[in-house]
Every structure is written in C-alpha cells, then in structure tokens.
Amino acid sequence: MVVVQPTAFCNINCTYCYLPDRNNKHVIAQSTVARLFSEIFASGWTCPEITVVWHAGEPLAVPVAFYREAFAAIERMRPQSVIVKHSFQTNGMLIDAEWCRLFLEWNVGVGVSIDGPRELHDRHRKTRSGKGTFDKTLAGIRCLRANGVPFHVISVLSRDSLSMPDELLDFYLSEGIDQICFNIEESEGDHVSDLFAPNPEGPSLRARYAAFLRRFWHQARASGQVKFVREIDLALPRVFRPDGSPTRNIQTEPLAMLNVDSHGNVSSFSPELLGLKNKDYGDFLLGNINRQSLAEIHRTCIDSALHRDIQAGVQACSAGCDYFSVCGGGAPGNKLFENGSFASTTTSYCLLTQMVPTDLILEAYERLEQSWTENDPAPIVQPNSQTTAEAAALPTRMP
C-alpha cells in the first residue's frame, strides 16, 4: 500500500484530528509523484496490485486537474504485470460532478468521513469557524449516489456513538449507504481520546464496544441492505483461513506500507506517524524519495531503531497474545501513543479492532454450530474451511 499526501492542508478542523500541519497548503509536485512511482515500479518489490491512497489532509483540496495528470503519468510508467488502484479518503464537502467524472473514469475507490446523523457528526467535524459540516458532507454523498459512484463511509465512534447503534444504522439506510467502516476515536499525536478514560461506575470500553458492534452487525445483516461492515467482513478471512496460512500485518513490515508526504519525505509502518515527532525517534522519517532511492530508504528502515523496536513488539505479541494469529502484531502507532513504546503489546485499540470482532465472529460461529448439532445430522464443518467462513457470515438468521 502506498499512502500519498497530496497536501497536508485540510479545509475543516475536527476536534479529534491529530495532524499537526493541516494549515500548510503545499502541494506535492508532479515530479515527486513521477519519481516515487518510477522507484516503486523499478524496485521489483511490487505486489500484483498496488493500492494508492491519497490521504493525510483533504485530498480534494487539490484540483481535479492535478490528479488527471498524476494518474496518467503513473499509468504510463505502470508495468503490465501490476494493477494500480487509486483511492481517496475525503470529508466529502468538495465533491461535485467533475470529481465524480474523475472517480468513474479511473475507477477510484472513494471513502467519505461522516460520523452518522447530524447531532453526532457536527459534534466533532467542524469548519474552521466552528460550524457543523454535516450538510455539505451529506451533499457530497448524495452527489456520489446521483452519479453512480460506489463509495463507503468511515464513521469515527466517540463516547456518545457507542450507545446509538440503531440510530446510526437507520441513518445509513436512509441515505443508501451500504458499505460501512468504523474508526474508534483514538489517542494519537497530541489528541487524547476520552473513550479510553476509565469509568469505574460503568461497563468497560471493551464490553460497550462489543455490545455496539454485535447489535449493529446483526441488525445490519437482518436489514438485507448493508453489503459490507468492515470490522466484521475483513476479520472473517483472518479468523477462518487454511491451516498454515500466515496473517500479514503490513504495519509491521518495512515499506509494506509506504507513506509519502507532500515534500517527498518517506515513512513506513503506521501512516499516523507521518508528520509527527518523538523524542526517541525524531520525525519517524526514513529518507526523501527525491534524494534517495527506494533501496536506500529500505536499508535505512532495516537499520533503524524504529524497525528494531517494532519487531520487538511483534515478538512480544507473538509470545503472549492469544489473538496474534488474527492481527499479526498490532498497530505500532497505537502502541507508541497508548503505551509509550513500540516494543509493547496490548492496547485499547487492539482490544476494540482485533479482539472484539474476533470474539463476535466466534460467538456467531458457535451459535451456528450449535444449531447444526441440534437440527442437522450432517457432520460439523471444521474451522478453516471455506464453507465455515461463509456460514459464519450469516447472522441474518439470528434474532
């Protein structure tokens, strides 16, 4: 995966944003884009399909013409053996018919950030003057639908959201939103999430999130109108997979996730590290694609304290976590922000994004297995088979 920051600038000011440079309107040069992809394609390290995510700021703050030129240049360099899939993560406020034409012409994946109905969305996603952004974001979503552009949404779950699974689902269904992803409001950079603050008088965050996701998942499937719930649907193939098949975690592999800012600076591992600074690791940067080759940047990465400590954390997870086979070592950025060290293990982020979905999937499988035992003389299908993976994805039959 290649995460490219076309600009650090963002046209809004979310309360939970951790990016430090979002007033900077610098735009990545076309020469930097060309240099980056010439190095990628010449490296011999490319997968058959590369996902390029234009993110880390508001990518639509850069004109459509920029992307037409950049996409065409990348396409001219692309080897026939490699597929390049472009994707945007946007607040949706600038989407219009011209953007929709670009998305359709280049088969661009589009993710829109919307936190649910107005009262949830406008609480955190605000303009520079402090006003809500719901109306313009929803107008962007409706423009996508009117022009036949497929899209998904990402909603950040805050303290209030966790008690509103039905209201969130009703909102998505009312707007024809059928591909849904959730991000937990995390502690990253200088932002401290109040979700992780202990509440001795109430249920744990893990229990609250499990109750939310269980209810949302079951009701979404029962509706027959939701095609994709990321937290469950991406976990399923990791939980049920052939024996001996390893789980990759590209956030822990050197340059498997290549993050490039608008000046050509390169980082790897967790994309949240791009643009941040730390007393032990400096700016987390491994080089600049305008001045170093990808091979040189890779050597720097391998020799770095960053890589050493991330691998120590992976080994610690492998030795002590029952969920290691599902997640492959956690998210380094969250280990640093929550625990103060890459060479650490469990985080609240792990509990919510890896353990809870895994538990819910196994819970659903056990109920389905029990129903087979009671009602069907056929032998029980063992985990890791394709049939089991498909069966575990059938909570529509649950009450």
Q: How far apart are CA 228 and CA 341, in angstroms?
A: 34
Q: How confident is the model at residue 185 (pLDDT cuts 50, 70, 90)?
A: confident
In this prediction, residues 205-228 reach a mean pLDDT of 95
Residue 352 is classified by DSSP as: I
Q: How confident is the model at residue 315 (pLDDT cuts 50, 70, 90)?
A: very high
State the Cα–Cα distance between residues 235 and 326, nearest whole angstrom: 8
pLDDT at 2 over 60: yes
pLDDT at residue 192, as a whole number: 60
Q: How much of the chain, in percent, has pLDDT values that exceed 90?
A: 73
Query: With 80 as the cut, is the pLDDT of residue 339 above it?
Result: yes
What pLDDT was estimated at residue 126? 95
127 phi-psi bin (left φ>0, alpha ψ -120 to 50, beta other): beta
Q: According to the model, what pLDDT value does residue 92 have?
A: 97
The predicted structure's pLDDT at residue 393: 31
Picking from 333, 125, 371, the residue whose alpha carbon sits closest to that of residue 249 is 333
Sheet of 109-113: strand order equals 228-229, 179-184, 152-157, 109-113, 83-90, 49-54, 2-4, 258-260, 265-268, 287-288
Per-residue pLDDT at 189: 55
pLDDT of residue 295: 95
pTM, entire model: 0.86
Q: Is the pLDDT of residue 184 over 60?
A: yes
Amino acid 55 reads H
How confident is the model at residue 389, as a pLDDT? 30
Q: Alpha-carbon dihedral of residues 148, 13, 63, 82, nearest 10 degrees?
A: -70
- Type and span of the H or E element at 374: helix 356-375
pLDDT tens per residue, range 194-207: 676 655 555 788 99
What average pLDDT is seen over the chain? Answer: 89
The pLDDT tens digits for 142-152 are: 999 999 999 99
Closest among 348, 329, 343, 326 to 188, alpha carbons compared: 348
Asked if 271 and 257 count as a contact pair (C-beta separation under 8 A), the reply is: yes
> What average pLDDT does this structure show over 90-113?
98
Q: Strand pairing partners for 12?
A: 127
Task: Give pLDDT tens digits for 346-397.
Answer: 998 899 999 999 999 999 998 887 776 666 554 433 333 333 333 233 232 2
Q: Helix H segments across 157-228? A: 165-174, 205-223
Q: Averaging pLDDT over each range in 6-15, 98-107, 123-132, 375-384, which range is the top one?
A: 98-107
Average pLDDT rounded to a whole number, residues 131-158: 97
Structure tokens at 69: 């030129």
- Range from 175-179, 239-243, 344-348 carrying the lowest mean pLDDT: 239-243
And the tokens for 18? 């951790």
